[in-house]
Amino acid sequence: MATTEVLLPLMGEGVNEATVSSWLVQVGDRVQKDAPLLEVSTDKVDTEIPAPADGFLIQASVKEGDTVEVNQVLGIIADDRDESVRQSTGGQQAQAVTSSPTPSNVTASSNPAAATSADQSNIKSSPLVRKIAQEQGIDLAQVVGTGLHGRITKKDVLAHQEQQSAPAAVPTQKSSTPVPAAVPADTAMAHPGLSTSTDDQGREYLEGVEVQRQPMSRMRCLIADHMVESVRTSPHVTTVFEMDMHKVVRMREAYKDRFFKEEGFKLTYTPFLIHAAVEAVKKFPIVNSSLDGYDLLLKKDINIGCAVALDGGLIVPVIKKAGELSLLGIARRLNDLVVRARSKKLKPDEVQGGTFSITNPGGYGSLTSNPIINQPQVAILGVGTIVKRPVVVDDMIAIRPQMMASLTFDHRVIDGEVGAKYLAAMKEALENYDTPPL
């Protein structure tokens, strides 16, 4: 009987582990080579692990919520269905044996305090959490994890730090409103000072209004942490320009049918905007930098991160070396990334290494936006919808397709003059566009 191990592949530079989000097949199921087996999450992206061979999944070596390292065995595939039954039976028997604790260990294993003495190498947490704990001098064995299967999250570490530094509580007059016995650490951290109450039927209230508590998804939590950290790090300033898009609109209309016939996907305005944004970056490379203390890190490559909306959040895949691509090259790369982002086929290194980001809420009708910088970058471009409106052209009123574009930048690095000059360069590129997409 031939068997094949399912290993966690290399998840990108600097990404050495991932968390198992869910198994997509059950032990004993037939699987096909390259079909998705399970879904894993890193601090950057959710992705599916494909089956390395045809056969039957005879063993799932890890559970949902487990943290696994690169090249760790996730499961085993065999070409014999009967072997899956034997493995499943054997696994259940082994589990029955290992799940029966000795009487001397029952109390200790069920006591949260006893778990704090565990070896930190076995504590479920991400590299980011361990880094924060190390920097703050926090012993993770003393932190109560509220994540899936007891996984310690960033919020747990921050909540633990706050509890350690908080002064002793001063007795206050008892409220006539019932108060819950305990407030989850992650909720208290997400909303400092926010308290709710419950009635005799267990219903929860906030300021007298009944609420239904719903934990955020892991992606939403990561977005929340990243956005708060960005605002805390960078002084945000936004400048807005209006741009005449009539040449871009005319060119797209002239080429869109031929483009779809030859390329197999629609030509949108986004590649034009990215191409013009890259040309402006070349003129003002300071927007393509990062700040390390008081040192500027000027990037040699222009890697454009493009925000893509997903169910329950968004992700920012990166067009690498966009400065070397034509308009057609950008369109192809963007379409590939967007399609795979929405089908969870992105690789972790495809959401890393961005040097400048673009978000396009205009696709949903937004006129303009004030986006938050994607750290450690220093600027982000927001583009609005294209709307026909009357404008003055050569002292005459004309109807032109207009678009608002905003640049939000880190004022530690970029002054208002440079931010305005960047948008002026992009405006000039779009209003004088003469590069066919084919």
Q: Of the candidates 160, 337, 344, which has an alpha carbon nearest to the alpha carbon of residue 265?
A: 337
- Annotation says 246 is catalytic: no
Burial of 119 (0-12, 13-18, 19+ CB in 10 A): exposed
Give dist(CA 58, CA 78) in Å, integer: 6
With residue 209 as reference, give the H or E element that holds it: strand 209-211
Give the amino acid at 33.
K
Catalytic annotation, pick one of 186, 199, 415, 434: 415
Give dist(CA 74, CA 371) in Å, integer: 39
Vertex 402 angle, CA 396 and 407, to 5° = 130
- Annotation says 149 is catalytic: no
H helices of 70-217, in order, are: 81-98, 103-110, 112-115, 127-136, 154-165, 185-190
Is the bond leading into 376 cis (omega within 30 degrees of zero)? yes
Give the pair of three-digit tokens for residue 281.
């970056």
Task: Give me the active site residues, please.
Answer: 411, 415
